């Protein structure tokens, strides 16, 4: 698929696989809208894209830990009055301790699931305006860290375990992908998710202090480069081979069956209902 002139909205584009994805998509002629927490970093990335011969990206502030910010970012995107050909939900976070967002949600689940769930729903009118649009969600093999959503303690109030909560949020990404694909069946929009591999990124840096230094050391044996980690995201954004594929989970640019609890359609429907109630938004589907 040619990207020339395609409008691509990407979250978390200033570091790691998000940055690698943005640079590659821009180099192929895409017109990018960058949603990120740091306008300064986004402006620097925009300057780099232009210096490499790409179109000037738009920068939209987005704090994934605030539903109000998500709503404003979506409004800013819709205000462009342009169809969205591809939405790449790339941003993610992991936290060493339990903390709450301004909306009162456990932050890992809020940033990794509630925020992209709400953002995607709000942007759906612009996505549906595009011919053959694509939604790509960056999930993770970390969904194997849990054996289900554990709906009785979604907010980890009975004890917080960093990798468990991260894994649960990534499981939510896969279940969200499956249910959204089901709801969009028959429309010209595909929805897929992926495991990028453990990548040398800034994931975990939001913890600050020693945690931000230890996280890369813990994951180092499994690291890929950001460019390698971005390969499957880029494949799902651009390949003609997946033009008619929806609701799938990909690893190394190939479909792969996730764990059984990530294929639980009843859990996906339950998570959808909880998510709509939590973020205060009902999908128009």
Q: Which two tokens stand for residue 245?
A: 């594929």
Which among 127, 94, 86, 88 is positioned nearest to 110, based on CA atoms?
A: 94
Average pLDDT of 191-202? 78
Return the H-helix or E-strand segment holding 110. Answer: none
> Which of 95, 166, 235, 249 is flagged as catalytic?
166
Among 244, 16, 12, residue whose Cα is nearest residue 134? 244
> Is the confidence at residue 254, as pLDDT, over 70?
yes
Catalytic annotation present for 235: no
Mean pLDDT of 167-180: 98
Q: What is the pLDDT of residue 204?
A: 47
- Which tens digit of pLDDT belongs to each residue from 20-37? 999 999 999 999 999 999
* Residue 221 domain flag: no
Higher pLDDT, residue 242 or 211: 242
Query: Residue 155: inside a domain, yes or no?
Result: yes
Q: Taking the CB of residue 40, how many other CB atoms lie within 10 A of it?
A: 10
CATH of the domain at 141: 3.40.50.720
pTM score above 0.85: yes
- Identify the pLDDT of residue 94: 93
The pair of three-digit structure tokens given for residue 89, joined into one six-digit string? 């939900």
pLDDT of residue 197: 78
Q: Which domain holds residue 121?
A: 7-199+226-279
241 assigned to some structural domain:
yes
Side-chain-side CA neighbours of residue 119 (13 Å): 34
Q: How far apart are CA 122 and CA 73, in angstroms?
A: 10
**pLDDT above 90: percentage of residues in the chain:** 87
| Consecutive H or E run containing 77 | helix 67-78
């Amino acid at each position: 698929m040619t990207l020339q002139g395609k409008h691509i909205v990407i979250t978390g584009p200033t570091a790691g696989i998000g940055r690698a994805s943005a640079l590659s998509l821009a180099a192929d002629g895409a017109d990018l809208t960058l949603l990120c927490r740091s306008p300064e970093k986004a402006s620097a990335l925009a300057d780099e894209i232009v210096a490499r011969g790409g179109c000037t990206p738009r920068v939209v502030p987005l704090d994934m830990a605030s539903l109000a910010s998500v709503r404003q970012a979506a409004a800013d995107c819709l205000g462009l009055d342009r169809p969205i050909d591809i939405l790449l939900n790339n941003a993610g976070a992991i936290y060493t301790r339990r903390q709450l967002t301004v909306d009162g949600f456990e932050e890992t689940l809020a940033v990794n699931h509630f925020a992209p769930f709400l953002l995607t729903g709000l942007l759906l009118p612009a996505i549906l305006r595009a011919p053959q649009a694509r939604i790509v969600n960056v999930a993770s093999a970390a969904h194997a860290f849990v054996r289900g959503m554990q709906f009785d303690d979604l907010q980890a109030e009975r004890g917080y375990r960093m990798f468990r909560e991260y894994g649960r949020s990534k499981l939510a990404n896969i279940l969200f992908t499956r249910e959204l694909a089901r709801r969009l069946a028959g429309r010209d929009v595909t929805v897929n998710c992926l495991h990028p591999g453990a990548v040398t990124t800034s994931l975990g840096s939001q913890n600050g202090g020693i945690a931000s230094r230890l996280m890369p050391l813990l994951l180092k044996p499994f690291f890929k480069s950001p460019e390698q980690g971005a390969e499957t995201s880029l494949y799902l954004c651009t390949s003609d081979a997946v033009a008619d594929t929806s609701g799938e989970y990909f690893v190394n640019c190939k479909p792969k069956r996730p764990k059984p609890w990530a294929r639980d359609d009843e859990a996906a429907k339950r998570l959808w209902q909880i998510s709509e109630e939590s973020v205060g938004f009902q999908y128009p589907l």
